[in-house]
Structure formats: structure tokens, C-alpha cells
Chains A and B, each alone.
Chain A
Amino acid sequence: MTLPPAGATAPPPDRGAQLERTRLAWGRTTLAFAVTTALAMRGFLIGSDGAGGADGVTSSAGAVLRALAVALLPLALLAFAAVARVRIRELSGPVPKRTAPPRAVLGRAALCVLALAALGGGVLLW
């Protein structure tokens, strides 16, 4: 690493770096959410024995619940991605005056994760 010439001032701090890191963190988290959603949907559609859903359930109620879970899982992902998208946009451009998001935004994101856990757990319960 070369030293700056004597008398040179330090380069200005990259004020955008923290914003970019946070944007990337939201992207990483959305990706993790998508992968988990895909795994949950696989569980409902293919299941552990290839027959789909939970091991030999043939009742129509079970089929309805399974269809419902498959329909709701992408919605949870979309909801999370929507929160992430808004937040990423807020963090783009120059340093905003108020950088902390309102608590409700993060609460919504966490709720999406809870919904995912509940839907993913649904496959276990019948």
C-alpha cells in the first residue's frame, strides 16, 4: 500500500459507502428470504416423498390448506421485497437527513418472516 505524498490531505470520507452497504444488506436479506420461500414451496409441492405435501395426506381439506400455503408464500416474499425496495430507494442518492427507518417499517419486515415461519411450519402440522 503506497503512502500519500507528504503534505497531502486525507481523501474525503466516502459518505455513500455506509448507505451502499445498507442497501446491499437489504438485497442480501431479500435473497435469503427468497431462498427460504422456495424451500417452503418445494415442501408443499414436492414434499419429502415426491408425492407432494405431507406424506400421504389425501383429504380434500389437506389439499385446500396446501394450496392456500402455496398461494400465500409468494405473497410473504413480495411483501418483504416491497419493504426492502422502499428502504433501498430511501437510501439511494445523497445522505438523507433522517437515516433511521421508522420502527413500523422494520416491524413489517419481521412480520413477513413470522408469516414465512408460520406457513412453512404449516406443512408439519398435518
Chain B
Amino acid sequence: MIDRLTDTLRLWFAPRRLREEGRMPDYRFSLANERTFLAWIRTALALVAGGIAVDQFLTGMSRAPRTTIAVVLLAGGALCAVRAVNHWARCERAMRRGEDLPVSRFPALLGLATALAALLVVAGVLLGRAGS
């Protein structure tokens, strides 16, 4: 666990280390990696937009739960943006070294968290309607 942490920090902050390592991968794989990064960024943007929308449009909900759900979604968006860079760097390094691409539980966790947030929003909307 600590190894993973120091590894990640080194990957983030070691200047130019990534570029000089290993063999340059096939350009199509590099571009595919870049597109995956952008897909994660779009996911992050969607979560950020969701958080902003929950706050703006769910006026039927009381302040506290509405703000909580919004903050959770915004934090999820920030997390995805960070993950985008991290995953891109790890994949780039794996391709250069000829290793397997890194596996991660993050997508599954994100899927569950998004489903949970959606259910909470549904509950909030229905309860808000019922209350008014």
C-alpha cells in the first residue's frame, strides 16, 4: 500500500522520467490511452455538472441533503479527474515496459457510487414532492 503511494508520487512528480523509460509504444496505443484519459475527464465533468444541477434544480429537497449529495457528486468528479491522469500515466508506463495494463477497482466503485447517488436523488425528489 505504501509502495503504491510512493510509486504514484514518483510517477506524478518525477520530471521527464516517464518519457525516457522503456520503448516508445505504437502510436495507436498512445492515442487510445489519450482518448481514454479524455473519456475519464468527460466522466468527471458529467459528475461535476450533476452536482451543480442537484443544487440548482432540486429545490424541493431541504438544504442539508441536497448540499450533501451535490458535494459528493462534485468530489466524485474531482476524483475522476485525478484518476484520469494517474491511470494514463500508469498505462503509458506499462506500455513502455511491455507489461500488462494496470487493473483497477475504480470503475466498478464509480458505477456503484453513481447508482447510489441517482437513487438518493430519486428519493429526494419523491420525498420533496410528498412533503409539499
Listed in ascending order, the chain A residues whose CB lies under 8 Å from chain B are 18-19, 21-22, 25-26, 28-29, 32-33, 35-36, 39-40, 42-43, 47-49, 55, 91, 95-96, 98-103, 106-107, 109-110, 113-114, 116-118, 120-121, 123-124
Q: Which 3 A-B pairs have the closest CB atoms?
A: A99-B27, A113-B81, A100-B30
| Number of A-B contacts defined by CB within 8 Å | 121
Q: Shortest CB–CB separation between residue B64 and chain A, in angstroms?
A: 11
Q: Shortest CB–CB separation between residue A10 and chain B, in angstroms?
A: 17
Interface: B125 (CB within 8 A): no
Q: Shortest CB–CB separation between residue A88 and chain B, in angstroms?
A: 12
CA gap between A121 and B92 in the complex, in Å: 32
By a CB distance below 8 angstroms, the chain B residues around A36 are 45-46, 48-49, 52
Q: Shortest CB–CB separation between residue A75 and chain B, in angstroms?
A: 16
CA gap between A104 and B39 in the complex, in Å: 18
CA gap between A123 and B37 in the complex, in Å: 28
Q: Are A110 and B82 in contact (CB under 8 A)?
A: yes
Interface: B28 (CB within 8 A): yes
By a CB distance below 8 angstroms, the chain B residues around A47 are 56
Q: Are A43 and B56 in contact (CB under 8 A)?
A: yes
Listed in ascending order, the chain B residues whose CB lies under 8 Å from chain A are 12, 18-19, 24-25, 27-28, 30-35, 37-39, 41-42, 44-46, 48-49, 51-53, 55-57, 59, 63, 67, 70-71, 74-75, 77-78, 81-82, 84-85, 88-89, 92
The binding surface of chain B is classed by DSSP as helix
The contact sample of 15 A-B pairs, CB cut-off 8 A, is: A18-B31, A18-B32, A22-B35, A25-B38, A26-B38, A35-B49, A42-B56, A43-B52, A47-B56, A55-B63, A102-B19, A109-B41, A110-B84, A114-B82, A116-B45
CA gap between A123 and B85 in the complex, in Å: 27
